């Protein structure tokens, strides 16, 4: 009888601790002034998770936490939140052993889009979950957005993505994936 490969799907975030690969001077600039301007920003996201999956070709849904976009600009011009697949980097430590992480590949990752903006201009609004859409490392997918007329206040929506164990996965290999969510003002 053939043994089924055991796979560990460790969802990894972008390599935040690594130094940026730009030519700029690395510096720490601690500033004491207080931000008073209105701004557009994003926080939250899919909860950190690691899951076990033992079956090649099966799909794990990584259910996310709330993601919040705060738009206190007043004269909002609208905004978009886009998601993009990113290859995982580095390794994870499993039972004291540093284990390299192999990318599941962008063919095996889908993100859930948000849809149906529900309430009003200010206060907390929510999106109901949308459909899963394939993401890759070249083209982003819009998961939430607001027009100039509707983007003010705080918008909260749920996030999730699906990871499918590659059909060519091998026994004992640690697979990972990462998704970047970016909020940006709308460009006409």
Partner 1 sequence: MPPSRLQRAPAASTLPHVRLLPAVLAALIALPVPVAAAQQAPAGPDVRGVSVLPTADSPYRSSSGQYLELGTVPAGAVVGDQVVVVNAGDVQRELLLFAVDASPAAGGGYGYSSRRSPQAQVGAWTTLSLDRVTLPPRGRASLSFELRVPAGAQAGSYVGGIVAEPVSGQEAAVSVTTRYAMPVVLEVAGAPPGTTPGRGTPGGRLQLDDVELQTDGDQLCPIIRYRNDSQDPVDPVAEVHVDRLVGSDERSARLPAGVVGAGEARDAELPCVRRPLGPATVSVELRSPRGDARQELRTSWLPWPFVLALLFLVLLVAALLLLLLRGLRRRREQRAVPDADGPGHS
Residues 30-59 that bind partner 1 (CB under 8 A): 30-35, 37, 39-50, 52, 54-58
Q: State the virtual CA torsion across 73, 79, 85, 91 in degrees, nearest 10.
A: 10
Residue 8 neighbours by CB distance under 10 Å:
18
The least distance separating partner 1 from the CB of residue 170, rounded to whole angstroms, comes to 14
Strand residues in 59-96 grouped as ranges (E): 59-71, 79-86, 91-94
Classify residue 168 by its DSSP letter.
Answer: T
The least distance separating partner 1 from the CB of residue 165, rounded to whole angstroms, comes to 8
User: Contact at 8 Å (CB) between 167 and 5?
Assistant: no
The least distance separating partner 1 from the CB of residue 40, rounded to whole angstroms, comes to 5
The only residue of 94, 119, 120, 121 in contact with partner 1, by rule CB under 8 A? 94
- Is residue 123 part of the contact set for partner 1 (CB under 8 A)? yes
Instruction: Tell me the site size for partner 1, rule CB under 8 A.
Output: 107
- Is residue 126 part of the contact set for partner 1 (CB under 8 A)? no
- Is residue 105 part of the contact set for partner 1 (CB under 8 A)? no
In the region spanning residues 60 to 89, those forming contacts with partner 1, defined by CB under 8 A, are 62, 64-68, 70, 72-73, 75-77, 80, 82, 84, 86-87, 89
CA distance 168 to 134: 19
CA distance 49 to 64: 9
The least distance separating partner 1 from the CB of residue 127, rounded to whole angstroms, comes to 13
In the region spanning residues 130 to 149, those forming contacts with partner 1, defined by CB under 8 A, are 133-143, 145
CA distance 119 to 127: 9
Residue 128, C-beta contacts closer than 8 angstroms, at least 6 positions apart:
114, 115, 116, 118
The only residue of 60, 103, 104, 113 in contact with partner 1, by rule CB under 8 A? 113
């Amino acid at each position: 009888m053939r043994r089924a490969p055991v796979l560990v799907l460790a969802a990894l975030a972008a390599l935040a601790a690594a130094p940026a690969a730009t030519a700029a001077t690395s510096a720490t600039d601690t500033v004491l002034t207080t931000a008073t301007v209105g701004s557009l920003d994003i926080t939250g996201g899919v909860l950190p998770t690691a899951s076990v999956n033992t079956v090649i070709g099966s799909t794990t849904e990584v259910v996310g936490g709330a993601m919040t976009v705060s738009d206190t600009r007043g004269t909002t011009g609208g905004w978009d939140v886009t998601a993009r697949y990113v290859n995982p980097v580095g390794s994870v430590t499993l039972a004291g052993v540093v284990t390299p992480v192999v990318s599941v590949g962008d063919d095996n990752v889908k993100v859930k889009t948000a849809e149906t903006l529900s309430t009003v201009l200010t206060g907390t609004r929510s999106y109901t979950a949308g459909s899963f859409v394939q993401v890759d490392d070249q083209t982003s997918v819009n998961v939430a957005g607001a027009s100039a007329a509707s983007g003010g206040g705080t918008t909260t929506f749920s996030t999730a993505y699906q990871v499918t164990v590659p059909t060519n996965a091998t026994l004992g290999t640690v697979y990972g994936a990462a998704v970047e969510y970016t909020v940006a003002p709308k460009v006409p």
